[in-house]
Amino acid sequence: MTGPVEVRCTLMRGGTSKGAYFLAGDLPAEPAARDDLLLRIMGSPDPRQIDGLGGAHPLTSKVAVVSASDDPAYDVDYLFLQVVVDRPEVTDRQNCGNILAGVGPFAVERGLVAPGDRETSVRIRMLNTGESAVATFPTPGGRVDHTGTAEIAGVPGTAAAVVIEFPPGTTPLLPTGNVRDTVTGIPVTLVDNGMPTVLIPAAALGVTGYESPAELEADPALADRLRELRLAAGPLMGLGDVTSATVPKLSLLAPARDGGAVATRTFIPVRCHTSIGVLGAASVAAGLRLPGGVAEGIARLPAQGDRVRVEHPTGFLDIDVDIDAGGPGDPGGTPTARRTAVVRTARKIFDGTVFPRPAAAPTPPAHPLGGNDGSAAR
């Protein structure tokens, strides 16, 4: 496929991820052509992504495609695309709450949303799932200010706070209707508070839940069990065959070690996350608050307030989550999430032009006599 020889691009860190942000109008409208271009921009397929913007890890091989929304309930539409590092694959089967943190500032800086004098709130429709979020961030004097004093675990230094609030979603919090299921012989809670997630007691898989990501990734028996569990959980969660999908996420739970509610190790889906995704943490936090779930006896919930601290390999992430255990007007019925919010940060790294790797030339047809150079076969 052919495409642009240069593309306007903003590279941003959003939360604990990094990605390339594009206006939808700067990319091909046809998905196959768009994905081919993004593979060449990010440098996939190549384990090092040496010839593109990607950072050789799923957390740094992400793309946000942003446009003005045609729905008056929203300001912008956001399509998240995961560019696979070592395969020629681009998938839109999940959201990304970390990259979401940069969407509001990007929309203001690219003129899609008029800024306020002190702060700006941007209403975002997440096209991957149809769900929404509102991102609020400082815009003193009508300009995005990326500097600030907010810290998030897993990111050095400080930056401006981006407060992201998620209204209640349209998907069931419990896809199976159960707070506890048994999948491939393992007790789990299947929860979706923005990200389909399987909560698993780490001890049920014979690990502590405190291992480093590298140690967990080096355990082939664990990888086999997790793959079997994920493939079985996907259809139960209404996701169908998830063989080639990046959802559901798998989060191992263990008692917290550093004052939080729970310690986690999350798989995305094969690599172990060095921290935890925003939407994945939102689903974990919701699952912790479900009476009878697998987190009972593992998690230590705060006595007051809605904030839950989820520990991960490089620190923690605080999530405000308010659960209605009975559902609206249905005491004792299906639980729902009334409110979910998180504080993230984002920082613009560069804004300019990216030059994609040239499209591969089509393979010339074989010469009838066997030589592509016109010579006879010998």
Residue 362 lies in a domain: no
Place 363 in a pLDDT band, splitting at 50, 70 and 90: low
Pair (217, 304) in one structural domain:
yes
**Residue 129 belongs to domain with CATH number:** 3.10.310.10
- Among the residue ranges 137-146, 259-268, 354-363, 367-376, the one predicted with the least confidence is 367-376
219 in a structural domain: yes
Q: Does residue 209 share a domain with residue 240? A: yes
Q: Are residues 202 and 250 in the same domain?
A: yes
Share of the chain above pLDDT 90, in %: 83
* Assigned domain for 285 exists: yes
- Domain range enclosing 197: 181-333
331 — pLDDT class (breaks 50, 70, 90): very low
Q: Are residues 65 and 200 in the same domain?
A: no
Q: Taking residues 122-146, report their average pLDDT.
A: 96
Residue 11 lies in a domain: yes
What is the pLDDT at residue 377? 38
In a domain, 187, yes or no: yes
Per-residue pLDDT tens over the stretch 203-216: 999 999 999 999 99
In this prediction, residue 168 carries a pLDDT of 83
**In terms of pLDDT, which residue wins out, 146 or 269?**
146
Q: State whether 260 and 326 are in the same domain.
A: yes
pLDDT of residue 270: 86
**Residue 338 placed within a domain:** no
Q: Both 147 and 232 in a single domain? A: no
Q: Are 148 and 216 members of one domain?
A: no
Q: What does pTM read for this prediction? A: 0.76
**Is 58 inside a domain boundary?**
yes
Clarify whether residues 127 and 222 are in a common domain: no
Average pLDDT, the chain: 92
- In this prediction, residue 376 carries a pLDDT of 40
Do 118 and 237 have their domain in common?
no
Mean pLDDT of 180-203: 97
Q: Are residues 321 and 194 in the same domain?
A: yes
Q: Tally the domains of the chain.
A: 2
Residues 151, 207 within the same domain: no
Tens of pLDDT, residues 37-95: 999 999 999 999 999 999 999 999 999 999 999 999 999 999 999 999 999 999 998 89
pLDDT band at 305 (very low <50, low <70, confident <90, very high): confident
User: HEC states along the chain?
Assistant: CCCCCCEEEEEEEECCEEEEEEEHHHCCCCHHHHHHHHHHHHCCCCCCCCCCCCCCCHHHCEEEEEEECCCCCCCEEEEEEEECCCCCCEECCCCCHHHHCCHHHHHHHCCCCCCCCCEEEEEEEECCCCEEEEEEEECHHHCCCCCCCECCCCCCCCECEEEEEECCCCCCCCCCCCCCEEECCEEEEEEECCCEEEEEEHHHHCCCCCCCHHHHHCCHHHHHHHHHHHHHHHHHCCCCCCCCCCCCEEEEEECCCCCCCEEEEEECCCCECCCCCHHHHHHHHHHHCCCCCCCCCCCCCCCCCCEEEEEECCEEEEEEEEEECCCCCCCCCCCEEEEEEEEEEEEEEEEEEECCCCCCCCCCCCCCCCCCCCCCCC
Domain membership flag for residue 43: yes
